[in-house]
Amino acid sequence: MSWIKVCKTDDVPENSVKKFWAGGGTIPLVIARHKNGYRAMPPVCPHMEEPLDVSGVVAGCVLTCTKHLWAWNLETLELQGEAEKPLKTYDVKIEGEDVMAFISEELVYEFDDEDDMDDDDFFNS
């Protein structure tokens, strides 16, 4: 894929996070608008899959997931607060009134697999 139009600049007010579907409705993403621009990223927090359009709060240049206070500077992508993993982002450019994202494939986070502990001896150990 390539540069894809995601939304209008006015669709995302400053200090907010909105969810959109790109690629013909197949790729979910959020646009976060901070003090100095826009960021496009997967729609969930890399910590516990929390939907960022619900729990993400933008203040100045900082995006915070309010569930467990993982936070990132949206301008520099620096980790802040409790964050232990970086954000993955799509490149963004503004063309006129359109917010465009460069999407070659869907970005996803790896979440820990649940440990397998279903051995027969579980209740006897």
Partner 1 sequence: MPARNHSQWMAKPPLADDEWIDSRIYSDQEIFEDEQEKIFKHVWVPVCHESELPKAYDFRTTSIAGEPVIICRGPDDEVRAFLNVCPHRGMLIERRPSGSFLEGQPSGNPKRITCMFHAWQFDMKGNCVYVAREKEGYQDRFCKEQAGLRRLRCEVKFGGFVWVNLDDKPSVSLEDWAGAPFECLRKTLDEEPLEIFHYHKAVIDTNYKLWHDTNSEFYHDFMHYHNRVTGFNDAYFARNNEAFPHGHVVVGTFEVNYENYEGFESRGELSFPHLPPNQWYMIDLFPGFNFNLRGSALRCDTVTPLGPDKVMIEFRGLGLKSDTEEERITRINHHNSIWGPFGRNLHEDLIGVAGQGTTMRPGTEERRILHGRQENQTIHDENGMRHYYEEWGRWVDRSPSQPDQAYSVRQGVAAAE
**Contact between 48 and 63 (Cβ < 8 Å):** no
Does 115 sit near partner 1 (CB under 8 A)? yes
Q: Least distance in Å: CB of 119 to partner 1?
A: 12
Nearer to partner 1, 105 or 120 (CB): 120
Residue indicated by tokens 């790896």: 110
The answer to whether 54 contacts partner 1 (rule: CB under 8 A) is: yes
Site string for partner 1, 8-47 (x = CB under 8 A): ------------------------------------x---
Binding part of the chain for partner 1, among 9-17, 33-41, 49-57, 98-106 by CB under 8 A, reads 49-57
* Cβ count near 1 (within 10 Å): 12
Residues 6+ apart with CB under 8 A from 1: 23, 103, 104, 105
Total Cβ atoms within 10 A of residue 53: 17
CA 57 to chain CA centroid, Å, is 12
Residues that bind partner 1 (CB under 8 A): 44, 48-51, 54-55, 67-68, 82, 112, 114-118, 122-124
